Structure 1
């Protein structure tokens, strides 16, 4: 019954990401066309932002499926780390696009050209509605992928609110510099997020200890098992930022038969799972035993 429920939840999660992907991609195409027709750099800049989100959602949708693929002889830990590849591809696309937009928009702040402010206003209203629908769809989802993407789309809604306000300022005050200024600010916001995400990706690739895992807390938790007197050769890393892996040597107070060792191991794995560690490899030692890896 639980398995059926998880399978249904996974199917709904994939469906939500699929709908959000096609919604976002279709609107990105409309944005690029709208940006060209209105002459608005802010819309072109936000179109780039939405293209990045389309890539993110598409890759999340793909990896939501791929992550279910069982591990094999080629990838013994499974396919979860492929999502990092997706994050790096996305970062490169956004970084190159943002630099191009800033190089075009920055000089235009001092010498702005006219834009179709009414066209900007209509596209901005459309942008708020489309991204708002996608946010509501994904916020109902249960997967981490859905929650992360919904935050990206919420940023898009706020971006479109800024474009909407910008179009009104141009309409009523003829502040045409607002358009390239908004464009530069959106591009800088994209670059900031790119570097935050790239930093996270490289920390995972370099097998840094996940920030949400406290090693001292792990040690204390494992020492609550009466038979465990010491923990060493302890390693914690993450496959994709969500699926954490742990290995350690547990020193036992005395020798136990295999049946009791299995019970101790089961207890240890349960405690580790409570701390957010999905996969653990444990080796038992006696207190006088020499440890080669220490």
Structure 2
């Protein structure tokens, strides 16, 4: 059983700055995964639960989200999401529409074109994920559809048109807590930290102290750095990634609760159950039953009003990572 986020290798030609494609569900690209590229992800059909970093919430057709480098993410269609008669058994063709580009490519755009300066703030905000308004999503998704099949100058023209729409969206929302605009002086360090977490969260012995030591930082300094840029504590972040991976396994596999708890990095079942209840507002058994048998659970995952936190309040404090 694969239990940690899979590092997705983005195969983009050297002469291209962006990559766009469609794929169905399930596929090798729909598990709990991460990559160093930015990703603009649109859902074209089905519904279920979206997991981006420390955020979980419902998705439906038209959902458009930007994820930053090394931020684990996945979209899991649940039983209700297969209601459309056109779906072929357990496969949903063309569910996902994806646009990916590297930080290096975006950086060159910002450096060489003064008109791209506003892109910097969008990329910074995308570190923890951004959900775009329904209106902007409706206008951007057809542009991504067109970009998939375009080459040459038209391809770049569409990319900059899309970026312009995203930057201008006054209704976009951060997927962690209300956004605060901080400039990261050490983006490579932040990327290294997020990548290391993604690669190690399935290890029960993995701790924030180990991370701090790897970065040659005092734990207190590391904790301030992490919370400043991720908007939640390191322990909180690790626990959420573990629980969200468990959600996927509960929906998509028949593994035992105890086995899943161990596979996602918990040494004791009681700690796993306590954190699962805290973040999902259900026991693991109840969650599996609801999501796999077509009953909708919305108590903990409804979209909050604009400006409110999009996930459980990090101020509640960490819980045994």
Shorter-chain TM-score bucket reads: under 0.3
Give the structure, 1 or 2, with the largest relative contact order (CA under 8 Å, sep 6 or more).
2
Structure with more strand by fraction: 2
Structure with more helix by fraction: 1
